[in-house]
Amino acid sequence: FIAVENIDSYCVLISSKAVYFLKSGDNTDREAIFLEVKYDDLYHCLVSKDHGEVYIQLTKKAVNTSSGVAMPGPSQQRPMV
């Protein structure tokens, strides 16, 4: 456990192995996690602003690559929170 940040209707929990995005309310239940990104799976992280809102785009590594080089995956591998 490193930090917890409450943001509007959800909470971000940062640990030494992953970042967890949780629904607001009871954060002790595993089902409260709606997005978990392990650092081993993270390819790139980008912070952007749009109409006064701040978004974090997390690009996960591709599952399989023929070259063995980690490249960004398809759109479902690039969640924006």
Instruction: Quote the CA–CA distance of 2 and 49 in Å, as a whole number.
Output: 25
The per-residue pLDDT for 27 is 56
State pLDDT tens for residues 36-75. 889 888 888 888 888 888 788 888 887 665 655 555 555 4
Domain extent listing, the chain: 10-60
Residue 13's identity, in one-letter code, is L
Does residue 72 contact residue 43 with C-beta atoms inside 8 Å?
yes
Can you tell me which residue has the tokens 């924006």? 80
Region of 80 (left: φ > 0; alpha: ψ -120 to 50; beta: rest) is: beta
The per-residue pLDDT for 57 is 82
Count H helices and E strands in the chain, helices first.
0, 6
Per-chain mean pLDDT for the chain: 76
The per-residue pLDDT for 75 is 46
